[in-house]
Amino acid sequence: MAALGIGGLLLLILFVVFVVTLVLAIRHRLAVRIAMRNVRRGKVRTALLVAGLLIGTTIISGSLIVGDTVGSLITHYSYLGAGYVDESITGTAPSGGPLYFSYSVYNETVNRTAGYDRISGLAPMIVDLGSVYDRTTGVPETNLNLIGVNGNQSTQLGPFVAQNGSSLEGPTTGAFLDQQTASAINASVGDTLVVYGHQALTLTVQAIVEPNVRGAFITAGLAPGDVWVSLAAAQYLENESGDINYIAITNVGSQAQGAASSGAVGSYLNSTLAGLLSSQGLVVGTPLETSLTQASNSGSDLATIFLVLGLFSIIAGALLIVGIFVMLAEERKGEMGMLRAIGLNRRDLVYTYYFEGVVYAAGSALAGIFVGVAAGYFLVYLAGFILRNDGLPANAIVQSFTVTGQSLIVAYVAGFLLTVATVVVASRRASRLNIVRAIRDIPEPPPALRVYTWLAVLGGVFAAIGALVYAATYHGTSNGSEPILGGALVILGAGLVAARFLKNRPVFTASGLALVVWTGTERLHTLLFGSSHTGGIFVLFTEGIFLVGGALMIVLFNADLLARGLRGLLGARGTASPVLRVGLDYPTRQPTRTAVSLTIFSLVVFTMVATAGYGSTLQGSLASEVASQSGGYTFFGYSQNPIPEIWNDIHSNATLAPEFTNAGTVATGTAEVYVPGYAKNPYQDSVYAPPTNQSGPSSFYDTEAFPFLSTINGTGAAATFQLVASDPNDAVVDANYDASTGSLAGSSAGGHPILTVGTTIRVTSLSGSASANVTVVGILKQSIIPGVWLNSATATALGYSVQNGYFLTVAPGISATTAAQDLKRAFFADGLVVVDIEAVLASSIGTTQGFIGLLEIFVGLGLAVGIAAMGILALRAVVERRRDIGMLRATGFTQGMVLRSFLLEYSYVTLVGIAIGASLALLVVYNSSISPVASSAGITNFVAPWLTVVEIVVVAYGLVLIAIAGPSLRAARLAPAEAVRVTE
C-alpha cells in the first residue's frame, strides 16, 4: 500500500466507484434515464449545483498547490545552496565555530575512497566567516561566507559563471564575489578588496559570479553573500596554515541522482573512514539530501495547515451539498411520490439521485481542480507579495508556482468522492419519503421512537469510543486535540442516549452547553491534561468543530425562544410586527435548512476570525515578547575576534559614545549537554558565561533584566543570575529547556531536552577534555539566545573564556539602525555581527503575520460557500413560498414588507452564524493566550482583532445581502393574483 502512494490509492478507489456505478447503471437503466433527464432539465440549476459542489475540490487542490509550490521553492534553493556537494566532512570547534583539521585528512580520505564508483570527486575547502572592505568604493560588509577552494581540485563541483557568461574554474590570485556581496559593497571586477578573517589580505576582485549551483554555494544566492578565495589565501586569512575545515564530496550523476545515493555513500564513508573521523572529531553530513528532505517536509507541513483550516470550508461545502440535495428532494417531492406510486421502488429512487449526483460530482470536481489551480496561483502570488521583504528575490515565490500531477489527482478524486459520499447520504434521506405525504405535500412527521433507539445505540458507541480515547490520551498529553475529542464524543453520545428517554430541547441544550464548556475552557484542560498540552492546528480544528456544534445545538433547539426574545426586545409596532413574525418564524420553523446555513456561516467565520485573532494576539504580544527576550538590551552581538573592552572602546569613540548606554561581554562557545532522562544525550548547545569582573554599567549582572519562567525556590530574576555569578555549580538555561516549549519542539521524539529547575546537568567541552556538573537554578523566558548560562569560573575551566559575545543597549532617542551601522563600522576588522533583538522578533512576527494574512484569505474562500448557500436558499424560498407570499400580499403585506421580511430572515441567520463563529473564535484565541505554552509560543497578551472582526462581519453580511437581493426583490415583486394560484 505504501508503494501505491496516496494518489494511487485514491485512483484505485475511484476505479472501484466507477465499476460499481457502471454495474448499477446497467442494472438500473430507468433510474439512469430519470437522472440524466433531471441533469438536463435545468441548466441554470445545474450550473448552480456544480458551483456549489466544486468548493471542496477547489480547497483541496488549492491547499496542495500551495504545498507543491513551497516544496518546489525550497527544493530550488536546496539545489542552489548545496550545489554538487552531496556529502561533507566537517567538525565543530569548542568555540562553536568550524573545526580545522590537517590537509592530510583530505589525502587520506581520497586514498580510502579511491575505488568507490559512486563518488566522482572530493575537494578540500575552508568555509568560515569573513568580512570585506572595498577600497575602491569604500564600502565594507561583515558576516560573509569566506570560502577557500582551489579551482583545479574542485572541477567536479561545476564551473563558476562570470557575469559575461564565461566559465571559470576558481579564484587564483584574486577573489570571486557572488552578486549579493558585490551588490552590498558596490564592487566591480578589478576593485581592490581587503578580506578579513583572523587576519587581513588585500586582493583584487577577480570575478563576480552568477548564482548558479557553484556560485550560490551555501547562500543559495541569498544574503549573506559569499567571498571565494584560493585555499592558500583562506588558510592565510584564518591563520590555519596546512589546515582545512571542509571536505566536499560529489556523487556520480545529476544533483537528484547524487542526492538519491547520498544515504548509501554516507554509510560507506562512515564505515570506511570510521577511525579517521572519530580521531579528528569529524562527522559526515549529507547537506543536499537533508535540505531536500526538509523541503519536502516544509511543503507537506504547509499543505497540512492549509488543508486542516480548509477542512472547515470543506465541511461547510459538504453541508451545502446536503442542503442543495434536500431542497432538490423537496422540490421534486410530488414527482417522486408519483414515481413511487406508479411502481418505482425505493432503491431506484436512491439510484436516481446517486446517478445524478455522480454526474454533478464528476463535473464539479473537474471544474474544482481548475478553480483550485487559479486559487492556488492567487495564494502563491499573495504569498510572494506578503513575503517580498523577507530576503527572497522578487517573484521568486511566483516563479516557483508548481502544480504536480499527484496533487491534481488527489484533489480530483478526493473532491469527487466527497461529493458522491455526501450525495449518497442526502439521497437516502430523500428516498425515505412517504408516497401519500409526498404527493399531497404534507410535512414528514417527527422521527419514530425506533429512530431514537438507534440513535441511542449510536450514542452509546460514541460515548464508549470517546471514553477510550480520553483515557488513553489525557494524561500529560502534548496534543490536546485527542482528549478534547474523547470528551466531546462522550458528551455527544450521552446526549443521544438521553434523547431516547427525554425531550429533545432539554437534552440537546444541555449537551450543547456541555460541549461549549468542555471544549472552550482552557483552565479545565490544563487541570486535566497537565501543563504541557499544546494547541496547534489540530486543536484549533477539534475545538472549532465541537464549540460551533455545541453552540448550534443550543441555538437550534431554542430557536423559538430566541425569536420570541428578539421580537420582545425589538418590541415592534405597526407594520414591523408582522414582518418580524414572518422573517423570524421561517428560519425558526425550518430547522434543517436553518441548521445548514448557520453551520456553514459559523464554521467559515470561525476560521476567519480565529486566524485573524492569532495574528492580532501575536502582534499584541510583541512588546512584552521583546521585553522578555531582550533582557533590556537592544542588541546581541558576536565577533570573530574578541573585543573584551568593548564598553571602553565605545566610550572612547566620539560617534558611539552618545549612542550607547551599556555594553557588556560574555564568553561563548559550544558544548555537549547531558540532561537526565533525555533520549539522545548529549545535546549540543551554546554556553554563555558573563564575566563578573566588569564594572560600571557594563556589568551584565548589574544590568540584565531577563525574566524567568521558573526559578529555584521562587527566587527573583536578578537574584537567580546572582546565584550563577557566585556559585560555580549553578546555571540557568533558555526557554527551550522548559516542558512547554520542549514539547512544542518535540522532545518526545528526541528533539530538545526538557528539565525542571533543580535538575543537575553535565556540561562537557566538545573535545571531551573537561566537564562540569551544574544545577539549573532558573529557566529563562527567552529563547532567542539559546543555551546554558554558566558561572564564569566554570566556563573557563571548560575552556570557554574568549569573550566574543556582547549585550548592548542603545541610548533613548537613537535609531537602532544607525547605532548598529556605526557599531559595525567601528568594529569591522573584528568581524562584529550585531543582532537587533526587537527587529528579529518583529521580522519573525511580521512573517508569521504575513502567513496568517495568507491563511485569512485562504479560509475566506469558504465564505463563497456561505454566500452560495444563502443565495441558493433565497432563490429556492421564492419558488417554494410563492403561495405564502401571494397570501401575505392579499392580506395586506406591501412589497416593502415582503422585501423586509426576506432581508430580515437571511440577516438573522447570517448574523447569528457570524456571532457564533466570531465569538467562539475569539474564545479559542483567548484560550491559547492563557494556555501554559502561550508564552513559549510567543503569545502573552490576548488582543481581539476588533477591526478585522468588523471587516469580516461587514464583508460577509454585505455579500449575503448582495446574494439575496435578487431573490428578495423577486419575491417582493410577485404579482399577488399569480402567486396565490401557484401550486407546486
Is residue 435 at the binding interface for another protein, with CB under 8 A as the rule?
no
- The one segment of 576-584, 611-619, 707-715, 790-798 that binds another protein by CB under 8 A: 576-584
CB 386 within 8 A of CB 852: no
Query: Whose Cβ is closer to another protein: residue 802's or residue 878's?
Result: 878
Q: Which residues 6+ apart lie within 8 Å of 965 measured at CB?
A: none
Is residue 886 at the binding interface for another protein, with CB under 8 A as the rule?
yes
Is residue 908 at the binding interface for another protein, with CB under 8 A as the rule?
no
Smallest distance from another protein to CB 416, Å? 37
Q: Which residues 6+ apart lie within 8 Å of 455 measured at CB?
A: 496, 499, 500
Phi and psi torsions of 303, nearest 5°: -60, -35
d(C-alpha 556, C-alpha 511), whole Å: 12
Is residue 897 at the binding interface for another protein, with CB under 8 A as the rule?
yes
Query: Whose Cβ is closer to another protein: residue 588's or residue 698's?
Result: 588
d(C-alpha 26, C-alpha 29), whole Å: 6
**Degrees (nearest 5) of the Cα angle 720, 781, 758?**
45
Query: Whose Cβ is closer to another protein: residue 371's or residue 898's?
Result: 898
Is residue 976 at the binding interface for another protein, with CB under 8 A as the rule?
yes
88, β-bridge pairs = 248, 285
Return the closest-CA partner of residue 804 out of 606, 604, 644: 644
- Tell how strand 760-765 and strand 730-733 pair up: unpaired
- The one segment of 94-102, 732-740, 889-897, 935-943 that binds another protein by CB under 8 A: 889-897
- The one segment of 5-13, 216-224, 295-303, 584-592 that binds another protein by CB under 8 A: 584-592
Query: Whose Cβ is closer to another protein: residue 108's or residue 585's?
Result: 585
Residue type present at position 941:
N
CB 873 within 8 A of CB 323: yes
d(C-alpha 931, C-alpha 483), whole Å: 16
Query: Whose Cβ is closer to another protein: residue 440's or residue 825's?
Result: 440
Is residue 883 at the binding interface for another protein, with CB under 8 A as the rule?
yes
Smallest distance from another protein to CB 509, Å? 21
Residues 605-644 that bind another protein (CB under 8 A): none
In the numeric block, which cell numbers belong to residue 710?
A: 521558573
Smallest distance from another protein to CB 885, Å? 10
d(C-alpha 869, C-alpha 590), whole Å: 15
Out of 138, 242, 714, 892, the residue judged to bind another protein by CB under 8 A: 892
Place of cell 455526501: 422
Is residue 980 at the binding interface for another protein, with CB under 8 A as the rule?
yes
Smallest distance from another protein to CB 330, Å? 12
Query: Whose Cβ is closer to another protein: residue 231's or residue 972's?
Result: 972
Helix spans in 238-345 (H): 255-260, 262-272, 274-280, 287-331, 333-341
Place of cell 525574566: 707
Out of 475, 505, 589, 680, the residue judged to bind another protein by CB under 8 A: 589
In the numeric block, which cell numbers belong to residue 444?
A: 414528514
- The one segment of 195-203, 511-519, 585-593, 850-858 that binds another protein by CB under 8 A: 585-593
Smallest distance from another protein to CB 586, Å? 6
- The one segment of 13-21, 329-337, 573-581, 921-929 that binds another protein by CB under 8 A: 573-581
Tell me, by CB under 8 A, how many residues bind another protein: 35
Is residue 981 at the binding interface for another protein, with CB under 8 A as the rule?
yes
Q: x/- string (CB under 8 A) for another protein, residues 919-958?
A: ----------------------------------------
Query: Whose Cβ is closer to another protein: residue 274's or residue 442's?
Result: 442
Is residue 895 at the binding interface for another protein, with CB under 8 A as the rule?
yes
Is residue 164 at the binding interface for another protein, with CB under 8 A as the rule?
no
Is residue 446 at the binding interface for another protein, with CB under 8 A as the rule?
no
Out of 471, 894, 947, 954, the residue judged to bind another protein by CB under 8 A: 894
Out of 399, 531, 575, 760, the residue judged to bind another protein by CB under 8 A: 575
CA atoms within 13 A on the CB side of 878: 21
Q: Which residues 6+ apart lie within 8 Å of 219 measured at CB?
A: 81, 145, 178, 180, 211, 225, 226
CB 977 within 8 A of CB 887: no
Phi and psi torsions of 374, nearest 5°: -65, -45
Out of 244, 328, 361, 888, the residue judged to bind another protein by CB under 8 A: 888
Out of 115, 443, 446, 813, the residue judged to bind another protein by CB under 8 A: 443
Residues 77-136 that bind another protein (CB under 8 A): none
Smallest distance from another protein to CB 591, Å? 11
Smallest distance from another protein to CB 916, Å? 23
Is residue 983 at the binding interface for another protein, with CB under 8 A as the rule?
yes
Is residue 570 at the binding interface for another protein, with CB under 8 A as the rule?
no
Is residue 573 at the binding interface for another protein, with CB under 8 A as the rule?
yes
- The one segment of 50-58, 89-97, 413-421, 569-577 that binds another protein by CB under 8 A: 569-577
Out of 331, 335, 585, 727, the residue judged to bind another protein by CB under 8 A: 585
CA atoms within 13 A on the CB side of 149: 31
d(C-alpha 560, C-alpha 849), whole Å: 42
Out of 334, 578, 786, 860, the residue judged to bind another protein by CB under 8 A: 578
How many residues are given for the chain?
984
d(C-alpha 684, C-alpha 763), whole Å: 10
Q: Which residues 6+ apart lie within 8 Å of 544 measured at CB?
A: 312, 603, 606, 607, 610, 920, 921, 924
Is residue 592 at the binding interface for another protein, with CB under 8 A as the rule?
no
701 CB burial (10 A radius; 0-12, 13-18, 19+): middle
Out of 30, 274, 436, 442, the residue judged to bind another protein by CB under 8 A: 442
Smallest distance from another protein to CB 902, Å? 14
Query: Whose Cβ is closer to another protein: residue 135's or residue 440's?
Result: 440
Out of 104, 577, 655, 821, the residue judged to bind another protein by CB under 8 A: 577
Query: Whose Cβ is closer to another protein: residue 118's or residue 581's?
Result: 581
> What SS3 state is found at 764?
strand
- The one segment of 60-68, 118-126, 484-492, 974-982 that binds another protein by CB under 8 A: 974-982
d(C-alpha 761, C-alpha 678), whole Å: 11
Q: x/- string (CB under 8 A) for another protein, residues 328-357?
A: ------------------------------
SS3 sequence of 592-618: HHHHHHHHHHHHHHHHHHHHHHHHHHH
Query: Whose Cβ is closer to another protein: residue 26's or residue 448's?
Result: 448
**Degrees (nearest 5) of the Cα angle 572, 573, 575?**
100
Is residue 200 at the binding interface for another protein, with CB under 8 A as the rule?
no
Is residue 890 at the binding interface for another protein, with CB under 8 A as the rule?
yes
Phi and psi torsions of 545, nearest 5°: -65, -50
810, β-bridge pairs = 660
**Degrees (nearest 5) of the Cα angle 402, 403, 409?**
160
Query: Quick one: which H or E segment has residue 669?
Result: strand 660-674
Residue/partner pairs of 42-48 with CB below 8 Å, 24 or more apart: 46/360, 48/324, 48/868, 48/872, 48/875
CB 555 within 8 A of CB 912: yes
d(C-alpha 975, C-alpha 984), whole Å: 17
Query: Whose Cβ is closer to another protein: residue 158's or residue 578's?
Result: 578
Is residue 503 at the binding interface for another protein, with CB under 8 A as the rule?
no
Out of 556, 582, 899, 939, the residue judged to bind another protein by CB under 8 A: 582
Residues that bind another protein (CB under 8 A): 442-443, 573-575, 577-578, 581-582, 585-586, 588-590, 883-884, 886-897, 975-978, 980-981, 983
